[in-house]
Amino acid sequence: MTRAAAEEWLAQDPDPATRAELRALLDAGDEAALADRFAGRLEFGTAGLRGELGAGPNRMNRVTVMRAAAGLAARLLEEAADEPPGVVIGYDARHNSERFALDTAAVLTGAGLTAWLLPGPLPTPVLAHAVGYLGADAGVMVTASHNPPRDNGYKVYWGDGAQIVPPLDTEISAAIDAVGRVDELPLGTGWTVLGDEIVEAYLHGLSRLPLGTARDVRVAYTPLHGVGRDVLLRAFRWTGLPAPAVVAEQAEPDPDFPTVAFPNPEEPGAMDLVLELAEASGSDLVIANDPDADRCAVAVPAPDGGLRPLTGDELGGLLAEYVLGRTHGTDRLVATTIVSSSLLGRIAAAHRVRSAVTLTGFKWLMRAAAPADRLVFAYEEALGYCVGGDDGPVVHDKDGIGAALAVAALAAQARLDGRTLADLLDDQARRHGLHATAQLSVRLPDPELIAAASAALRREPPKALAGRAVTAVDDLTQGLAGLPPTEGLRLRLADGARVVVRPSGTEPKLKCYLEVVTPVTGDVAAARTRAAADLAALRTALEETLALP
């Protein structure tokens, strides 16, 4: 059966490279490799598609992409009125990204839709902004973000400029299932290739952010071999910020990401080169984007010398206070996710505005606002930030370029005031208590191991962790405080601590999010030492409880 499916796939595949790969496996009789490619298929969900490049339905390839485009077209046509639906398509610099974008444009126009193609490899937030700017009905971004070089992906946005949520994902997935052979799809040629005006429109939006007037800041920057550099440099120039020093070895887009093991600024070692550049150049601030520039990582000079990366929660707290101090109105809303720090709620209360907590992912964060709310800031601990102003967000998604501008402006203002970002973090700890967070992330390539670990914890949750009583267990599959059901478990512990355990939505990992809240009654450094010890003990206790290999 697998060989027959492979032969059928081979007959419709337009790509010489994947045809050659599949023919070689068939000729060699490599049943295991064939089964790996044909025993399942990449599932289309709220993150779209993401997976390893190669032949077959369980890989990212031209057939998979054309089927996805045809399914998206069918779903859009279901609710089309007089005008054909319009879709804007973007792509990064990964292997096959441009080819997948062109195939998408051909399938969409062949189905009678209007398609616009971004003018070259560009950051994901440019695509997300373009959806709203053009009044498109949907957007497609071909990217695997910070995944390894062998991967690619297909992210879908709806007409509001935000990533899709249920039930749209299942509706599009069903439409994809109904697609026949791709060599029988009608293909068009009438799409529009956009010019630089689409990038300028995005930059104009960023220039309206509440960035203050202070501009004296020295920044070291890396795009991690991705597509962020040129747009970020233009954004700094547009807003009057000094041009950052850029890591030469990582400045040009390179789909093989040769200087890093994983092109993710959260991974150990990924920021080593930009930290070296910052030390050598005496920079006040270190900024890294992930390869599609929708995430932003930051490091700052430490009080005792050297540079220390900020956690996503630390930068989220700083940016929240910065935005709330420069926007106005009691209808303002700030939002974060269930796995992020509880600090944002305390910051919002101090500013007398509402805060919201959503499931993980910006698809949920961008829908956190009730009709009476005006979202001005949202973040998730995985280095994703949406910075807005009094007129709301520039991009209805995470935006690593906008976040870079905001943190550079914040650092410039702190420098003008004779302060540092480290000082501002200490100020927050004194006002709200020290909210310290950490992660335990376990890569488990077998999905059954991830599911088994989650199920075991649900069946028998611990009564205590690291000497802290577990005061409540929240099963996220049952929904929580009005949130949609999702796979995961939250353990609430004594003294405001908590642990959330969930499978990653984009990688084969079990992810655990830890938080402790330490009152600050004296020296903040001493409180940080206590919090670090508490987090380490909690991490060890959780590892023992999960008993993972």
Catalytic amino acids?
Answer: 145
Both tokens of 85, joined, read: 């639906």
Residue 11's alpha-carbon distances to 7, 23, 176, 182, 252, in angstroms, are 6, 11, 19, 10, 37
**Alpha helix (H) ranges present in 325-372?**
343-350, 362-365
CA nearest to 83, candidates 114, 53, 49, 42: 114
Residue 86's alpha-carbon distances to 39, 72, 114, 116, 437, in angstroms, are 35, 11, 4, 8, 42
C-beta of residue 119 within 8 angstroms of C-beta of residue 191: no
Consecutive H or E run containing 316 = helix 312-324
SS3 112: coil
The amino acid present at 402, given as its one-letter code, is G
Query: How many residues make up the chain in this entry?
Result: 549
Beta strands in 338-480 (DSSP E): 354-358, 374-380, 384-389, 392-393, 434-443, 464-465, 468-475
C-beta of residue 153 within 8 angstroms of C-beta of residue 145: yes
Q: What is the strand order of the sheet 509-518 is part of?
A: 434-443, 509-518, 498-503, 489-493, 468-475, 464-465
Pairing state between β 509-518 and 86-91:
unpaired
Spatial distance between the Cα atoms of 342 and 245, rounded to a whole number of angstroms: 34
